[in-house]
Structure 1
Amino acid sequence: MSEAMLSKVRKLLAQAEDPACTPAESAAFTAKATELIARYGVDRALLAARDPATDPVGDRVVEVVAPYARDKAGLLAAVADPLRCRCVRRRQGSGFAMHLFGFASDLERVDVLFTSLLVQAAHGLAATHVPSGEHPAAFRRSWLAGFAQAIGARLAAAEADAVAGSGKPSVALVLADRSDRVRHRVAEVYPRLRTAAPRRLAGTGFGSGAEAGRRADLGGRGVATAPGARPGIGR
């Protein structure tokens, strides 16, 4: 992402995170940051349609560590999918190695968002009371599932708005072609890929996690992929 775009997003996020902001003001700053990131994705896709060398299909591996590694991996997938990237989850010790596929600009957007959202999830969980008598880990897993679902829905809506707002009928076709090319790359690398069975979560935190996801700032400052470099979520 360009430095100019990053600078705009960072300023908006700093304003959104200011304790002096009202909830309405914070939501407005957050919405603008999300809009900028979505528009950036459309702009880069159109540029690459004219000059494919500017935005090649690529991949990278992101290590997701315990605790709650599977839930963090779910959040990464919830961010990646609306941004036209694909994740393959591989078990690695007590965590996962998430193999991401996508165009370079979209992988970059996933990086920016996922780092910020991990921090926000950690803060949100720390501030959320676990109901009396409920197992803390079960509550937190369901909270993270709600958070991830809300984030995914918000990103999908922002992407759709960016496409509609571009005023260019060709955008949808360009993006569909990009998604197909990413799927083909995944199939080349993982020809026998299987879909994981759905999880059954017993905790009651889904609703409060989803509400936190609807309030979250959709932006950040980049991702470090070294082992243990990501912000953690406490036990």
Structure 2
Amino acid sequence: MTSTATATIRAMLSGATGYEQGLDQLTVLPPETVDPALSTALRESGERLFKAGWQPVELHRLVTRRVGPEAARLVADVAAAMLDRTQTADPRWAAQAAEIGAERWWFSDAEYPSELARRVRADRVTVLDLIVSALALLRTLPSIEILIPPPGAAPSKTMNVEKSDNRVLDRVRALLAKAESTDFPAEAETYTAKAQEMITRHSLDEALLTADRAEVVPLTRRIPVDAPYESEKAALLHAVARANRCHAVWTPDLGFATVFGFDADIDAVDLLHASLLVQAQRAMSRTEPRGKAGKARMKAFRASFLVAFAHRIGERLAQAAKAALPAEDGNLLPVLRSRDVQVQETMNRVFPRTERARGARVDSDEGWREGRAAADQATF
């Protein structure tokens, strides 16, 4: 009978059997045959993706977006089971698993669906539907670059000796948080200008200190790009990355951008992008049309606002980055040029073929004007 349940699940996922028909068949089969089949399918699908480069937070986030938070609970359970079966786990991977609430709460893998139904106080049909819906998504996801070794894998050979000083990052975060929370532009400018100064100085110092260390190589980080207006937010990330000697490749289907660069520079991109998004959202809410603005007009305004904001921020960041370079530094400029080449080579290795995204449309002159004005007032 277990083979019957397994065959039904496979037929549902392949489309050979209609979803509702397959769910009906699973519902009438004995739980002792369906539960092990579903539990095995879920574990194998989740572990395949974890071994194929997906990190716990990334997979949890995508399942939440595509299926819902209830299905994302299953990702946490797969991560917990994977950690439970191995004694070797990268601390970063384990920390992400803890972040999404991964813990071994069920007693028997073979009875996991039934125990889940009792835990969430849902009927059996709802739980079976939830698991199969999650499986339908998981089977479609591709392999991505392994940035953190999954549990049981050999530790990464890349030495991250350039890891940014946590004290510097903590001070930058504190300054940006104050800049985001204040309602006084002059005060915000003081905080964010100091943060940018610290970021730039730290990045250039790291470049010189590690110039002759062969083990210091470009790294990769995936940064989420959330709906709505993903393409406009990705454009802002691209502008911030370019100004900080990094490259960003956006993967819209998976909801993230992959940023390539040296560690201190990627930290700067991550922090600045998050802060500028907050500033853009606040400025947009203050300037968007009031009253009975239609949905289409509001959508056009917001999209155009973010396009203009990203465009103008890119210009300002490029100017600031150029001004931050010491004049005629014979030691620094060759190092930066060498780093640029290494970052480009790393990106080409991971993404040998990329497509330039089509420029976003600007359907609201009002949104464009307000977006550029907000970018001129933004601080970094």
**What TM-score comes out, normalization by structure 2 length?**
0.51
8 Å CA contact 2:304, 2:371 repeated in 1: yes
Paired residues, number: 213
Aligned equivalent of 1:97: 256
Aligned equivalent of 1:5: 168
Aligned equivalent of 1:118: 277
Distance 1:63 1:49, change over 3 A: same
Identity, % of aligned positions:
38
RMSD: 2.4
Does residue 136 (structure 1) correspond to residue 295 (structure 2)? The answer is no
Distance 1:128 1:186, change over 3 A: same
Structure 2 gap ranges (5+) = 1-163
Distance 2:349 2:181 in 1: 46
1:14 Cα offset (Å): 5.4
Q: Write the deviation string for residues 15-64 of structure 1: whole angstroms up to 9, x where unpaired.
A: 5456474x4443333322222211222111112203343x4211122221
Letter in 2 for 1:5: V
Bigger proportion of residues as helix:
2
**Structure of higher RCO (CA pairs closer than 8 Å, 6+ residues apart):** 1
Distance 2:304 2:197 in 1: 28
1:71 Cα offset (Å): 1.0
Distance 1:32 1:91 in 2: 33
Aligned equivalent of 1:225: none
Aligned to 1:197, what secondary structure does the other structure show? coil
Structure whose alpha-carbon radius of gyration is higher: 2
Aligned equivalent of 1:64: 225
8 Å CA contact 1:101, 1:107 repeated in 2: yes
Distance 1:188 1:6, change over 3 A: closer
Aligned equivalent of 1:173: 334
Aligned equivalent of 1:86: 247
| Structure-to-structure mapping, 1:198-217, within 5 angstroms | 198-204=359-365, 205-217=367-379
Distance 1:101 1:136, change over 3 A: same
Does residue 28 (structure 1) correspond to residue 28 (structure 2)? The answer is no
Aligned to 1:62, what secondary structure does the other structure show? strand
1:194 Cα offset (Å): 2.4
Distance 1:49 1:194, change over 3 A: same
Distance 1:43 1:158 in 2: 17
Bigger proportion of residues as strand:
1
Distance 1:159 1:101 in 2: 18
Distance 2:289 2:261 in 1: 37
1:164 Cα offset (Å): 2.1
Please point out which of 184, 188, 193 is paired with 2:354: 193
**What TM-score comes out, normalization by structure 1 length?**
0.79
1:91 Cα offset (Å): 2.5
Aligned to 1:101, what secondary structure does the other structure show? strand
